[in-house]
Every structure is written in structure tokens, then in C-alpha cells.
Amino acid sequence: MGIAEWRERLQSGEVSARELTDQHLARIAAVEPTVHAFLEVTTERARADADRIDAARAAGEALPPLAGIPLAIKDNLCTKGITTTCSSRMLEHFVPPYESTVTERLWQAGAVLLGKTNLDEFAMGSSTETSAFGPSRNPWDPERVPGGSSGGSAAAVAAGEAVAALGSDTGGSIRQPAAFCGVVGLKPTYGRVSRWGLVAFASSLDQVGPFSSSVADAAELLQVIAGADPRDSTCLQAPVPDYRAALRQPITGLRVGLVRECFEQEGLDPQVKASVLAAAAQLEALGCELVEVSCPRFNDGIATYYVIAPSEASANLARYDGVKYGFRSGQAGSLAEMTARSRAEGFGDEVQRRILIGTYALSAGYVDAFYKKAQQVRTLIRRDFDAAFGRVDVLLTPTSPTTAFRFGAHADDPLAMYLADLLTIPANMAGLPAINVPCGFDDSGLPIGLQLITGVLEEPRLLQVAHHYEQAARVMDNRPVAALVA
């Protein structure tokens, strides 16, 4: 059941917010031993939130749009008075004294906080295996990863532990786990949603967005969290349109571009390719025109990303020195030794690897050869998208080259892990909105994801096309039996 349906039942009194919350808390208790989507379940807070909504309804007050809706929040978004760890020993005991803008807007809209979800440490990873507190598992097959870095949020929605969730997307960290877990995942335009209170990984790439069971629910959450924020200088001032109304607009005559480079990828699973092309055919049957387009630098996105993102991470994570807050090693005889030991013991291997890459790329004698060159390629990637959108209204690609892989499959090969984001990174490089929508299943019964991309601030069209496809394809109505998704 979606947010609109729950809202109607809550407002009519058919169900109380407390009952809906307890229903999800019971689901969490039942499946968390297997899924491990949550790092912290805020049971008392959730029930208190729900009771306030019920009291407001009983008093005849008008309820806000998300009143009583139970949500999960990725644990790199600051929540006042609630531990925010980024799945790192470095912040294991960090309790923020302030609320992030997006979560503040959710609570003002009446949402109920169920808890904080697991992620790859500091959002660096594509499988949630780098979490310092153990990996989350894919509800479709617990022997497989849920994707990353927002794997906990994706798994929580897929397993029915939350109506929806928030995640962050730096190079695909919403869309890729959404594809692996068979849910909708939306990365808005860079700057459409405030980053204030999001613990920074790569500041020019990070963006907050929703996970949900439907495109309509993603539109509901985006409606609440989008908009200008004076506390975030990169947040856009553009007015927020009615995303929910956009879903009803017809898509007949829209031009859908199939990005040639994406379908010619080495390593693209034939089942993924066939399923995504079938989704394109479905859009054609709905009245869209299919057009093959080329984005020549699309495949350069991943190399560019792994210069820019680690460079920004190196700068952002320099603040964790064991002095003001965060983990501090007790085995040191000097300030320099304490800082070195604190960072070595507080950060995991993947975070250290990216800090080293970024520090090297920014070092004297190499910054022009690596970082500056990467920024130039980033501009070319953006120009390729601009040229493509001169011909079509929306771009269509697979979200991930494969379905969810088994735990440990890429443990000894970081480059293979990085390639999991091959098809999602270019949208981040260009700051474009993109969405994952389930479009089928492979022979093992694992979900396959379709990615749609539109131009800057064209979320209404993105949601419109995704919604029409979702309603016509009804993919989840024909889902195979899975371990926890029923």
C-alpha cells in the first residue's frame, strides 16, 4: 500500500498512526536478524511520533502530508539527539546537536522515524560490505548484497520494514541498491534537495533522495524534501513544482533515447539487457518514440569519478583528526602520532584507500594531470548529455550491468566493485536527475533495474515517464517468490 492510500486510511481513522507504526516495528523485529537493514531502531521515538499524530487527528487538526507514515533514514543524515555513525568506527558515538534539513522537513510533514539504516562506510562502496557494523543483506536472497552505499535503506523498503526511506547518491548509491532490491530509487538534480546535515563524501556529487515501493511514493517524498535552503549554498532557488500532478500527464509523443554506449558494455548481463530493452518496447507501446543516441564520453565517467570523488573525500575527511570529535586512539605519545593512529584505526580499508587516491590526485605536481583533467572530462560528459537532450526528452539505460552479486564476489578486486556503478555515475557527473524502476527478473528471481535520466530540474517528466511505465508493466505483480519479499 502506498503513501496516498495510507494517508486516506489514517485521516479517516480506519487505522491509527500507532497501529501502522507498531505493524512496521513488528516487521523489523521479525526480519532484522536476517536483513540487518538498520543500525538503530528508534522504537520509543517512533511511537511518540505516532501518538502525536493520533492526538492531532482526534483533536480535529488538519494533518500534514506525511502524517503517520513510517520512514527509515540513511545513517549519514544527521538526526538531532540520535546517533549518526556513517557506519564508521570514526563516528560510532557521534550524536548530532542539530537536524538535517531533509529530515527536519519530513518531521514537519508528520513522518514517523523508525530508525537509521546501514550503509557502506562514509557512503564509499557499492555493496554495504564496507560498513564497520556488518553488511546488510538482500531481502530477495540473503546470500547476496543489497547494493550500496544506501543498501540498508533499499533493503528496509524491499523487506517491508518501512513504507519508504531516504538515501544519498554520489555515484549511484540510491539507484544501484534500488535495482538490486527491486524498489524505486530517485536521485534528484544536484541542488534540488538540501545537503545541509548530510555528512559529506564528495560535495559536488552528493545528493539526497528517496527509496519507495512506487514512483508515486517517490514523488510524495520529493515534494516534501525539495526546495531552497539558505543553509546550503549549493541548493537551487527554483520553485518546487507539483510532482504528484506530473504523474498524470500523458507521455504520448515523448522521445526516449537509448544510449548506445550503455547497451554495448562489456560485462552487461544478457538478461539485464533483454529486460531493459523490453521496458523500452513497453514505453514505445505507450506512445513514446524510441531514438538511439550516443554519449561518447559515457564510459569515461567512472575513471573521472574515481579522481574527483576521492579528491573531495580526502578534503572532507581531513576534519576527522581525533581532536574535536570522532574516534581517538589511546595508543599515542604525541599529537601527530595520535592523529595518524586515530585515522588508521577509525577508518576502514576502503575509506583509507579513497583518501590516499584523492590525496595523491591533489598533490603538487599531479593536480593538473589528474584532478584538473578529470574536471575537464566532466565538462565533456555534461556536453554529451546536453547534445542528447537536444534530440530526446528522456534517456534510458540499464541501472546496473548485473543483478545482485554474492557476498565476497569482489572482495579482493576493488576495480570490479567500482564497475558496479558504471552506468549510474555519469548522471552524477552532470548533476542530472535519474531514477531506477524495477523492470523484470533474471533466471534466479533477482530484480533487474531500468534507469531513466532527464535534464536539469526535469523531475516532473522523469517521474511522469517512470510512473506510466510502472503502471503499464506491473512488474512487481508478477514477481517470483523470494526469501523475504512477499
| DSSP-derived secondary structure for 180-208 | HHTSEEEEPPTTTB--TTBPPSSTTT-EE
Quick check: 182 pLDDT over 50?
Answer: yes
Q: How does pLDDT run across 202-246, given as a tens digit for each residue?
A: 999 999 999 999 999 999 999 999 999 999 999 999 999 999 999
Length of the chain: 486
What is the distance, to the nearest Å, from the Cα of residue 196 to the centroid of all Cα atoms in its chain? Answer: 16
SS3 content of the chain, % helix, strand, coil (to 5): 45, 15, 40
Q: How does pLDDT run across 67-78, given as a tens digit for each residue?
A: 999 999 999 999
d(CA 439, CA 85): 34
Q: How does pLDDT run across 354-364, given as a tens digit for each residue?
A: 999 999 999 99
Q: What is the CA radius of gyration of the chain?
A: 21
Residues catalogued as catalytic: 74, 149, 173
User: Higher-confidence residue: 428 or 364?
Assistant: 428
The CA-atom distances, in angstroms, between 377 and each of 35, 147, 333 are 39, 27, 45
- Residue 166 and residue 73 in contact, taking contact as beta carbons nearer than 8 Å: yes
Residues 6 or more apart whose CB falls under 8 angstroms from that of 26 comprise none
Backbone angles phi, psi at 62, to 5 degrees: -70, 130
| Domains observed in the chain | 3-257+391-478 (3.90.1300.10), 299-372 (no CATH)
What is the distance, to the nearest Å, from the Cα of residue 305 to the centroid of all Cα atoms in its chain? Answer: 17
Q: How does pLDDT run across 430-458, given as a tens digit for each residue?
A: 999 999 999 999 999 999 999 999 999 99
- Residue 122 and residue 76 in contact, taking contact as beta carbons nearer than 8 Å: yes
Quick check: 333 pLDDT over 90?
Answer: no
pLDDT grade, residue 484 (50/70/90)?
low
- Residue 74 and residue 150 in contact, taking contact as beta carbons nearer than 8 Å: yes
Residue 480's pLDDT is 62
What is the distance, to the nearest Å, from the Cα of residue 269 to the centroid of all Cα atoms in its chain? Answer: 23
Quick check: 395 pLDDT over 50?
Answer: yes
